[in-house]
Structure formats: structure tokens, C-alpha cells
Homo-oligomer: A and B are copies of this chain.
């Protein structure tokens, strides 16, 4: 895309992998809300599309070529691609928080091109081998699953946890599945749209409620994961936490947020924001392979690369959960 609302298919030369890099033939790309936001508005916060940008950061593929210094035996392997390349040398990277690396190169936030293409180049260690039991679409969706794994870890979900998840979009549903995979036994998903709640029950929720019903649930949750970005949902979620509860803010929202100060103090609540994820791909693949988390069921539409605009426009339609684009068609 070069302008908001305008998407074009361009012929570009197939890129060549440099030292330590791989060329990956893309099999499946998930359409994320952030792709749609760039497409519609041309920016997210400080990230502005000033020159043509390739969207897409949820990617699976097959290794097509190996750059210098990379094991050529990997060519041909099916892989899931982690979309961010961190420097590996700054304090955040060396402390294991590479998602906070100030020099991160991440697919699609401008000016770095994304993966909505026939081929992408990635660093060797960011292409993870896939077992046969994980499909191409499922592998593309390891990215949102990573978002869920990261949030669930920050929320310290464990056996017997009671968790409230606000927002029944793809990220909310992924979080519900991951919560169950960590042993949570009470997983309540809320949304303002009744039609979205139906999917929650098929994706890990033990119950699904309208956002307006959350206040009536009392203080019974160990953790709250916001996937809505909606300030009223966040305020209600915080009030629904038990003492010592944890709130994890995943969904993006307005610049400022009002929280119930006294409640946070008297119950010693902890509030954490999340930004992407770190070190989640191996676990995400293992969960997908074991069937503990099933994501390809979320896919409600598949599109060819030439139909990418249609894919982007599809995501707000009722009944659509997740659209994927398969460039090999």
C-alpha cells in the first residue's frame, strides 16, 4: 500500500538472502487488525506510512534458499516465521526481552516491508521448523498465538486460575485457548457484540458474557486480560479482580487510560502492558502440534494474493474471525 485505502500488487525481484539469512516462499499470511488499520488510516501512533509498504506479519512458508553461513540442508523445510529481527546486542536483548529492542526490525510497521509477498527474507533463527501436524494456516497463526502466550505468562495463569478476557476477536479467542492450555479452569470472555461471543465457547471459554454483565460477576478473577483496548472494559476488568490479581493490557486503545486508583492499591493489583512477545515460537509450535491449541478453526476465509484488498476489507464483516492470504495460489 502507498496511501490509505489503496493497495497494489507489484512485481519485484525475488530477494537474495544475505549471510545468516534464509529465503522463504510464503505459504500463508494472516490478516491482522493492525494491517487493516494501516490500510485504512496510514498510521498507527508514531508509525506512519510515508512510502509504499508491504503489509503482513503473520507468516508461514517453505525455505527456498539459504544465504552464506546457513545450513543448506534447511532448504525445503516448512517453517513458521517470527516477524521481528532484534539486534541481539542491546541491554534489552541480552536480558531476554528482545521485544523491547530499540533497533527492532519488524514486518510491516513502516518503513520495514512485511510478508504479503511471494517471498520474504528472514534471519536463520527466526524460521522455525514445523511438524507435519501443523498446517500452513495454523503456522501463520502462530503469531497471534504468541501474543496469547505472552499475555498468559504475564498474567501468571496456572492450574485452577480464573481469568476474565475482554474482547472476543481473534486475540481474545487465542488468549482463551492459551489460558486453558495453562490450566485455567474458569475462562470468561466478554464482548459488546453478541455474535462474537458464540465463537468463544468453541475456543476455550468456559462462559461468554456481554460486557455489560461483567460488573455483576463480582471480584472473583485471578487475572484479567484485555484484548479490547476499550477503557470501560478495562475499568470493569480491574474491578473484577481479586486481591493480588494481575491485569494484562494487550489491546491497543487511546493515549490515556483512567484506572480505579484506590482499587489498585487496596487490592494490590498489578497492571502490565504487553508489546508483542519474546521466546514464544517453540511453545506455540508445540501446543499446535499437540492439539492443545487449535487455531486453523479460526480461519473463516482464504484469499489469493491478488485479492488481498478484499481480505483486508473482510475482517469487519459479521461471521468473519480470521482471514488468511495464500500467495502461492
Q: Which residues of B contact A94 (CB under 8 A)?
A: 88, 93, 96, 98, 125, 278-279
For chain A residues 57-103, which have a beta carbon within 8 Å of chain B? Answer: 88-100
| Given A159-B286, A268-B272, A243 contacting B97 (CB threshold 8 A) | yes
Check if B159 sits within 8 Å of A178, measured CB to CB: yes
- Most central of A98, A255, A258, A272 by chain B CB within 10 Å: A272
A289 is contacted by which of B185, B243, B253, B265 (Cβ under 8 Å)?
A: B185
Nearest-Cβ distance from residue A94 to partner chain B, whole angstroms:
6
Check if B264 sits within 8 Å of A160, measured CB to CB: no
Copies per complex of this chain: 4
For chain A residues 117-139, which have a beta carbon within 8 Å of chain B? Answer: 123-125
Q: Which residues of B contact A275 (CB under 8 A)?
A: 265-268
Check if B99 sits within 8 Å of A268, measured CB to CB: yes
Chain A positions 246 through 286: 1 when the CB is less than 8 Å from some CB of chain B, otherwise 0: 00010011111111111011111111111100110011111
Q: Which residues of B contact A20 (CB under 8 A)?
A: 89
Q: Which residues of B contact A304 (CB under 8 A)?
A: none
- Most central of A253, A254, A273, A287 by chain B CB within 10 Å: A273
Asked if A45 lies at the interface with its beta carbon under 8 angstroms from chain B, I say: yes
**Closest residue to A251 on the B side, CB-wise?**
B265
| Given A265-B249, A268-B99, A91 contacting B279 (CB threshold 8 A) | yes
Asked if A158 lies at the interface with its beta carbon under 8 angstroms from chain B, I say: yes
A258 to B261, CA, bound (A): 9
Asked if A320 lies at the interface with its beta carbon under 8 angstroms from chain B, I say: no
Chain A positions 32 through 54: 1 when the CB is less than 8 Å from some CB of chain B, otherwise 0: 00000000000001000000000
| Given A265-B273, A287-B185, A93 contacting B100 (CB threshold 8 A) | no
Q: Which residues of B contact A89 (CB under 8 A)?
A: 20, 88, 123-125
Asked if A182 lies at the interface with its beta carbon under 8 angstroms from chain B, I say: yes
A264 to B123, CA, bound (A): 29
A153 to B183, CA, bound (A): 12
Asked if A305 lies at the interface with its beta carbon under 8 angstroms from chain B, I say: no
A287 to B161, CA, bound (A): 10
What are some 10 contacts across the A-B interface (CB < 8 A)?
A: A45-B266, A94-B125, A97-B243, A100-B268, A152-B159, A158-B283, A159-B292, A181-B183, A185-B286, A185-B292
